[in-house]
Every structure is written in structure tokens, then in C-alpha cells.
Amino acid sequence: MKKVYFKGIALPYFLLLPQIIITGLFFFWPAAQAVRQSFLREDAFGLSSQFVGFENFTDVLSDPTWLDAAFRTLLFSSSVAILALGAALFLAVQADKHIRGADTYKTLLIWPYAVAPAIAAVLWLFMFHPNIGIFGRMLNALGVPWDYKLNGDQAMLLIIFAAAWKQVSYNFIFFLAGLQSIPKAVLEAAAIDGAGPMRRFWTVVFPLLSPTAFFLMVVNLVYAFFDTFGIIHSLTQGGPGKATETLIYRVYTDGVMNLNFGSSAAQSVILMILVIVLTMVQFRYVERKVHY
């Protein structure tokens, strides 16, 4: 901690002012409104609203279609996280070896970070469109009736792959940094003790990498919950039916499309609680890692 400061009261407030105004106007005020609206219900004409207590929440939580969406979100997010983490760890372990061209491989694996989730979805659409996509046509030619616009499971599969594809490079960067920070002496000691490559990986590398993996797990779940809105919106619009409607997508359709403010606000508040929990878990981990 610092012991020497500049004098002055007005200047620091002035320096903080822009950030405080923006967070107040566009973050805290709307968040407070969301909480307020979640306890209100508007009449059919939107003319008046009345306090309904927790009714919006109980309605949401007992709505089977919302529970379906929650389950779907869980399935989607965990699939994305596992796929993206697994692929990234595998590639990072390979790229960490002493081979020629390692830097070129790294560059070629890092760039997808720059691709927007919605653009990733579009690229996957180009491949898996049933009529114009190379793999979509191939599947149909092989006798697999492939059309993600009609088949819900196929739609879900497609958004999972598009979402995971985009996230691998991010995880790869962190796993590689984690691998490079493992002291080589530890690995050499294990090798001298007769541990083979697989054994070295599972008993030395993996435990030392687990804090990184845990951190990435949380980041990937947050990504799959929130940042994949663009993927779903551009690829399936939540359909066919509701087959790819995640919780975030539902907040959007209920609020923006169906103008059901009370329910949308209640759903928002539930998600807000979820983000707060995830963020706290993430920062607890950072604190613990300092002592690690």
C-alpha cells in the first residue's frame, strides 16, 4: 500500500466523474429498475402497473418452459465448456513441446479469438447449411437427414460446436501460459523417477494446471451463458420451436419481442444473481491462488 499521496479532494472526484456517471446511468439505475419491475405487473394495455410481490418470480420458476430453457442452458453451457477446454488443453500440451515451428502453430491457433461469436456462427452456417454447406450436403448425401432448421437436436449440436470452436483459442492461450510456468525441473525429476509421458501429465502437469483449468471453467460458463447470444440469434433464433432457446435468449424474446416486462425483469434478476455468484466464485479463486 502506498504511503505518499497527492493533496486535493476536487481533482480525484473530477477524475472519477466520467466512470461514475456512466456506471450510475447505464448500470446501476437500469439494474435497480429491473429489480423494481420484477415486483410489478402491467395491465394488458401497459397503462398502469401494480405491485405483485414475488408473483413474477414464482410464475417464472414454476413455468415448465422456463425450466426447460434452464435445463437446456445447463446442457449447452457445460457441453461448450467441456469441448472448448478439452480441445484447448490437448492443443496446448502439443504446442508446449519442443518442436520446429511451434511459434507458427501458436499464431495459427490464437487468431480465432478475434472472431465475433455471431461471425463464428455464420462460418458454421456456411459449412452446415443443408443446401449450400459442404458438410450439410455431405450428410444428406450419406443418408443422414440433416437440416438444423427443422431438427432441434441438430440445431443444438450446431450452436454447441460453433460456440466451442470460437472459445478454444482463448483457453489455449491460458493453458499454454500455465504450462510454460511449470518448472522443467519438476518434470525432469519425474522422468528420472521413471514416470512415462502419460503419468507425468496426470500426476504432475494436470494438478499444477488445475487452478488455470478452474478459472477457465468459470470464464467458459459465463461465456456460454451470455456471450453466445449472437450465435443463437444469428443461427437458429432459438428454434426450431424452442430447441435452442437459452435463458438469455428467453429474456430477450420475452422482453424485447413480447414486451412482457414483469416476467422479463424477474428473469433478469434471477440471471443477475447467477452472475454475482459466478463472479464471486471466480474472485475467491484469485484470492486463493495468491496463497497457492
Partner 1 sequence: MGTSLDVNALADRTRRRQRREAFVTHACLALGVLIFAFPIYLTIIGSTHDVNTIGRGDVPLLPGGEAAANYAQAWGVGGGRFMGVPAGVMLFNSVIMAMCVAVGKIAISLTSAYAVVFFRFPFRMMFFWLIFITLMLPVEVRIIPTIQVMVDLNMTNSYQGLIIPLIASATATLLFRQFFLTIPDEYVEAAKIDGAGPIRFFIDVILPLSRTNVAALFVILFIYGWNQYLWPLLIVNDRSMETVVVGLTKMIGSGDSQNEWNVIMATAVLALLPPVAVVVLMQRWFVKGLTETEK
Query: Rounded CA gap, 199 and 221, in Å?
Result: 29
The distance of closest approach from Cβ of residue 273 to partner 1 in the complex, given in angstroms and rounded to an integer, is 9
Q: Using the minimum distance from each CB to partner 1, give the nearer residue, 201 or 226.
A: 226
- Kindly tell me the sign of the dihedral angle through the C-alpha atoms of 29, 31, 33, 36: negative
Cell numbers for 100, please give them: 520446429
Q: How far is the CB of 144 from partner 1 (least distance, A)?
A: 16
CB of 108 to partner 1, least distance (A): 4
User: Least distance (Å) from partner 1 to the CB of residue 227?
Assistant: 8
Closer Cβ to partner 1, 67 or 275, answer by number = 275
| Least Å from the CB of residue 143 to partner 1 | 17
Q: How far is the CB of 78 from partner 1 (least distance, A)?
A: 19
| Selection from 57, 51, 25 nearest residue 273 by Cα | 57
Task: Tell me how crowded residue 132 is: count the other CB atoms within 10 A of its CB.
Answer: 11
Closest separation in Å from C-beta 211 to partner 1 = 10
User: Given the complex with partner 1, which of 76 and 170 has the nearer CB atom?
Assistant: 170
Q: Between residues 121 and 190, which has the closer beta carbon with respect to partner 1?
A: 121
Under a CB-based contact definition with an 8 Å cutoff, are residues 146 and 136 in contact? yes
Q: Which is nearer to partner 1, 97 or 291 (CB)?
A: 97
Q: Work out the burial of residue 20: count CB atoms within 10 Å of its CB; fewer than 13 is exposed, 13-18 middle, 19 or more buried.
A: exposed
Q: How far is 225 from 248, CA to CA, in rounded Å?
A: 7
Residue 211: count other Cβ atoms within 10 Å of its Cβ.
15
Q: Between residues 25 and 67, which has the closer beta carbon with respect to partner 1?
A: 25
How would DSSP label each residue in 161-228?
HHHHHHHHHHHHHHHHHHHHTS-HHHHHHHHHTT--HHHHIIIIIHHHHHHHHHHHHHHHHHIIIIIT
Using alpha carbons, select from 166, 91, 79 the residue that is nearest to residue 121: 166
Instruction: Using the minimum distance from each CB to partner 1, give the nearer residue, 23 or 65.
Output: 23
